[in-house]
Chains A and B, each alone.
Chain A
Amino acid sequence: MGMKEKLEQIKEEALKQIQSSDALDRLNEIRVNYLGKKGELTAVLKSMKDVAAEERPRVGQMVNDARAEIEAVLEEAKSRMEKAALDARLKSETIDVTLPAKKNNVGHRHPNTIALEEIERIFIGMGYEVVEGPEVETDYYNFEALNIPADHPAKDEQDTFYINGDFLLRTQTSGTQVHEMEKGKLPIRMIAPGRVFRSDEVDATHSPSFHQVEGLVIDKHITFADLKGTLAEFARELFGEETKVKFRPHHFNFTEPSAEMDVSCFKCGGKGCRFCKGSGWIEILGCGMVHPNVLRMSGIDPQEYSGFAFGVGLERIALLKYEIDDMRLLYENDIRFLRQF
């Protein structure tokens, strides 16, 4: 048998074995058996010394060709098998994607805070600074400096918790206006969120402790039109682009002119529903132009400066926005309630 036939035979045998192999291990075995150091093709190369010198290049070429062919087929078989193995693995690893998620169980913000952060975001965007004032307050900041003199019935209306004659729990965040104005830095654009207290018994719509967000702008040439524009913008941001606002005259001692702002009912769009008691409007906040007496007491000349102020009840916004029907839920901290926000 000539060299050529022998090589052919080895090659055929190798290809046959590759063809019939069914595992990567087996392929490796075949590689070793034919192409390894002690493999059959290597043996042929080793027997080259018996070949005539002029034949050697040709035989060498034949051996290399056979080797290349076997390697190519081996490689092809290997990748085919790897793919099949991968397919099989992927198939076997199919999972039920509808099984429950493994959540990280992050906690939830209180609805009051969510509403507050919305409000803060809107006003920060309009250049307002968020500040705070004390919760235990003096009579002066809570009443007198806000144009509510000693014998004024408004003091009774607000059912104040007193510590003693001079100190009380603030009934409104409006005192923060005075603290800010007294700092003497103008212009002012601020909102002041915070806790306030009134001696209301706890029920579904009352709490002796709740939150307000006070707003104050003081500058030259601030007008009632600016107040309307600012709060209309706020309402659209908070309740949606379609929201309409209505300003009604009202009375607060520390603003003049004063107003209450209603927004078109975001439930029915203003057609009238149970939510807005059929009126199509929902009362949201009180506001007005800062009373000249208040400016004067805080050391600001009302001839030169003017400003507007507003106060929003945070719980009211939270209850409305999230359709919470009982204020007591806000202070019970039942995790089943908190997890809904």
Chain B
Amino acid sequence: MNSALSWIKAYVPDLTCSDQEYCDAMTLTGTKVENYARLDKNLEKIVVGQIEKIERHPDADKLIVCQVNVGNEVIQIVTGAPNVKEGDKVPVVLDGGKVAGGHDGSPMPEDGIEIRAGKLRGIESKGMMCSIEELGSDRNMYPEAPEYGIYIFPEDAPVGGDVPELLGMRDTVFEYEITSNRVDCYSILGIAREAAATFRKPFYAPVVEVKENKDSISDYISVEVKDPDLCSRYCARVCTNIRIEPSPEWMQKRLRASGIRPINNLVDITNYVMEEYGQPMHAFDLDTIAGHKIIVRRAKDGDQFQTLDEQVRIMDQDILMICDAEKEIGIAGIMGGENSKITDDVKTVLFEAATFNGPNIRKSAKRLGLRTDASGKFEKGLDPHNAEAAINRACQLIQELGCGEVVSGMVDVCQPMKEEARILFEPDRINDLLGTGVSRQEMLEIFRMLEIQYEETANELVIPTWRQDLECCADIAEEVARFFGYDKIPTTLPTGEATTGRLSYKLRIEQKARDIAEYCGFSQGMVYSFESPKVFDKLLLPTNSPLRKTIVIANPLGEDFSIMRTISLNGMLTSLATNYNRRNKDVRLYELGNIYLPHQFPLTELPDERMQFTLGMYGSGDFYTMKGVVEEFFDAVGLTGTSSASAFGKKKKVVYNPQSGKPFLHPGRQADIEYEGRVIGYLGEVHPLVCKNYDIGTRVYVAVLDMPCIVEQATFDRKYEGIAKYPAVSRDISMVVPKEILAGQIEAMLEQRGGKILESCQLFDIYEGEQIKEGYKSVAYSITFRAKDRTLEESDVSAVMKKILNGLEGMGIELRQ
């Protein structure tokens, strides 16, 4: 919403403040000023000059030398402009003055352009005549300006007069951000009311008196509203003997400042009233209306209708139409029809000011892809009282501007209007909510300024109809707060019962995950939750994979963002690919984000949102590096027994199961991570074909941990177990092991047969190749025994070692000599 300060001042004449003061004060009472600009910015020393004489420049074909009377003197100006003649009155910048921009309309320099006296091809020039572009505007706003050349004033312009003043540029345009609840402030009158209350100055609403002729409206038009649910009020008035001509300069100035191009008196009046009252109006040529009858009804599915922008549009039964006795003539609240549009030959005009159903207009405009100034206002839901006020204002202007005659009477088809809202006045409650001590008297004064009436007997506030946003005590408290001043409300801290500040347990585990990942060199990435359905093919997932059952967004930004992810790998691989593509070396990333697993289709309950801790890396490091990160994390969150070097004897243990069957991972380098028999994640090297799908030309390792499973098992409890008092005994065994036997299987046997005195076993060598027979590998463990309560005897150890050696034999493992 844009408007000139001068227009606001028309209703608040006592307003005296600088632009900045106005901006600050209005913003602090809730009418936020986004920015403001003076229309005469960088226009200095520019007066009306009259060209007395034009001569050719002796040395330049395209230049002329003019003698220009600027009021107190006649100065010589050299110009190349093609459109001036002797006697013309033109804007002249005097020596040392400034203009806003260049004549070509290119972006205007911040500080304008200074004009100095000088010589052009040897001839003295003491100023410059300017175009509308140099004055900082354009032909859109000043249609009378020539396409190329100097702006020419009408003959009655005073020589020596102030040009910015004459062009209505001694003004400031404010741009406001109006909140959606304040429909009334999408109008000059609404903002003026706020300004009056902000500065505590009186507000003068326009006095509307319509001088009518002797004709009666019933002879011209009748109105029938067939769908009153979509049109709660329809006001119609008729004006005759219409004379189309330019509107007066004062009206043009105000429209221009609001960013509206002046066209002719009739169009300008409807636009002016729309700005002033916030009520869109429509003007029909009455002679095009069949049967002199307006019917307001829903369209039929598939109806075609040509709007006045000459587009043919397809209607449906939820779109409200304005029709005459035979045909549709306009889409209600959105745009009129080509068949009833006003031409310069119009004789009789039918004005419509109606109140349409806001949500319906919003949906219709959206379906039609046709949002107009009018629909933008209607969709907010207008006050039906305003329709009558606005249509009368328009008729008054028709008559006052000599645009035509107003036919007596108004056709008004109106549903019963809501009664004015009444709210109990509870000053103590208001102060309790605000934490203030505003007096009852001060509150009443604020209400008076806002035209909220107080009825003492009922102790009720009567809310004006244009304030549809005021419904309860809290709303009234906001009015008090706004005009008492948000800045004057004290600042305190809540008292009352103390509460414990903390992270939820889940968030603590996630924080630990971040810490560990970062200690291990992984940086945190963030990726979108939605992705393309094509990712499943990229990840080589079979067509029947349950991961392909995704939640689909009905209105996505595009296919690439259309499904809620059910696996976190795509985001990680895409991020790694970005880095690989940019030749970043040794990249390690982690991500914490949800996957979304639906319980059923169609969705009837919220999906399972599972936080995934995803790690990915390429460059230095291998499978075991990644496994190390996973185990560091498990250690940190109390998932014990993660590595063979740490204590046995605790029951819980992480198991890596190579039978994980992940198609996107290297078949020989992947494992499910199981804890207490439950899969809590997986890790592995990414399958080379998947790497290829992501254009990554190197080995990539990933790990994905399902955080809900981990949160269930995690603990931050730790118990000191003492430091061993008795010496340990170590035995190294070197074995030749069939290739298919896993270290994990050997360790499980060691654990089982080692009994109580087995403390740990540590793999210290693994080797395949020369000297080892085909199909076998050499594996060496250092086994440590210790008792908690005594020094072990040789016999204790050898007894256990015997069991272990038997176990090895049972597995087909030979000791190496």
Contacts from A to B (Cβ < 8 Å): 104-110, 112-113, 120, 123-132, 134-138, 151-154, 156-157, 161-164, 166-167, 169, 187, 189, 195, 197, 199, 201-202, 208-209, 217, 219-226, 228-230, 232-233, 246-251, 256-259, 289, 291-293, 306, 330-336, 338-339
Contacts and interface: CB of A to CB of B under 8 A. Distances in A.
B526, B588, B594: most-surrounded residue (chain A CB, <10 A): B526
A104 B518 CA distance: 10
Contact of A224 (B27, B433, B473): B433
B181 interface: yes
B503 interface: yes
Contact of A225 (B27, B435, B500, B551): B435
29 contacts: A106-B518, A106-B519, A107-B523, A108-B523, A108-B524, A127-B498, A129-B500, A130-B503, A131-B504, A135-B529, A169-B530, A169-B564, A202-B557, A209-B530, A219-B494, A221-B495, A222-B496, A223-B433, A224-B481, A233-B493, A247-B486, A251-B180, A251-B182, A257-B482, A306-B432, A333-B526, A334-B578, A334-B579, A338-B525
A129 B501 contact: yes
B493 A230 contact: yes
B506 A333 contact: no
A113 B514 contact: yes
Contacts of A128: 499, 501
A223 B477 contact: no
A108 B496 CA distance: 40
Given A124-B502, A129-B499, A132-B506, A209 B528 contact: yes
A248 B433 contact: no
A333 B487 contact: no
A206 to B, nearest CB: 11
A223 B435 contact: yes
B564 A136 contact: yes
A164 B606 contact: no
B578 A225 contact: no
B578 A333 contact: yes
B499 A187 contact: yes
Given A163-B603, A225-B435, A249-B28, 11 more contacts: A126-B493, A161-B556, A187-B497, A209-B528, A221-B432, A222-B494, A246-B487, A256-B478, A257-B474, A330-B526, A334-B584
A320 B514 CA distance: 23
B609 A136 contact: yes
Contacts of B501: 123-129, 189
Given A228-B489, A336-B584, A130 B502 contact: yes
B476 to A, nearest CB: 10
B554 interface: yes
A124 B587 CA distance: 34
B578 A120 contact: no
A195 B497 contact: no
Interface string B582-622: 10100111100110100000110011010000000000000
Contacts of B433: 223-224, 289, 306
Nearest to A138: B606
B366 interface: yes
B358 interface: yes
B180 A157 contact: yes
Interface in B436-450: 436
Contact of A248 (B27, B499, B552): B27
Contact of B496 (A156, A187, A230): A187
B432 A223 contact: yes
B475 interface: yes
Contact of B557 (A125, A199, A293): A199
Given A130-B502, A134-B606, A248 B553 contact: no
Is chain A's interface secondary structure helix, strand, loop, or mixed overall? mixed
B552 to A, nearest CB: 7
A335 B555 contact: no
A130 B497 contact: no
Contacts of B552: 163
B506, B525, B584: most-surrounded residue (chain A CB, <10 A): B525
A243 B542 CA distance: 57
Contacts of A332: 575, 578
Interface size class of B (residues with CB under 8 A): 35 or more
Interface in B451-478: 469, 472-475, 477-478
B502 A208 contact: no
A226 to B, nearest CB: 4
Contacts of A248: 27-28, 30, 32, 486
A7 to B, nearest CB: 52
Contacts of A164: 554, 602-603
B776 interface: no
A223 B491 CA distance: 10
B525 A333 contact: yes
B525 A110 contact: yes
Closest 7 CB pairs of A and B: A225-B435, A223-B435, A249-B30, A257-B478, A251-B179, A333-B525, A151-B359
Contacts of A247: 486-487, 489
B477 A153 contact: no
B496 A221 contact: yes
B517 A195 contact: no
B494 A217 contact: yes
A301 to B, nearest CB: 14
A124 B508 CA distance: 13
Given A226-B492, A333-B575, A162 B554 contact: yes
Nearest to B357: A151
B522 A107 contact: yes
B610 to A, nearest CB: 11
B41 interface: no
B667 interface: no
Contact of B502 (A129, A223, A336): A129
A156 B362 contact: yes
A251 B177 CA distance: 11
B489 A224 contact: yes
Contacts of B627: none
B606 A257 contact: no
B492 A223 contact: yes
Nearest to A194: B594
B379 interface: yes
B379, B436, B499, B521: most-surrounded residue (chain A CB, <10 A): B499
A106 B528 CA distance: 25
A258 to B, nearest CB: 7
Contacts of B362: 153, 156
A87 B359 CA distance: 90
B492 A113 contact: no
A191 B570 CA distance: 31
A163 B596 CA distance: 12
Nearest to A258: B478
B564 A335 contact: no
B527 interface: yes
A200 B323 CA distance: 38
A185 to B, nearest CB: 10
B205 interface: no
B493 A226 contact: yes
B504 A333 contact: no
Nearest to A231: B491
Contacts of A258: 478
A124 B477 CA distance: 30
A162 B602 CA distance: 13
B206 interface: no
A127 B497 CA distance: 10
Contacts of A209: 528-530
A194 to B, nearest CB: 10
Contacts of A291: 474
B502 A136 contact: no
B490 interface: yes
Interface string B551-573: 11111110001001000000000
A259 B486 contact: yes
A208 B555 CA distance: 12
B760 interface: no
B763 interface: no
A120 B510 CA distance: 14
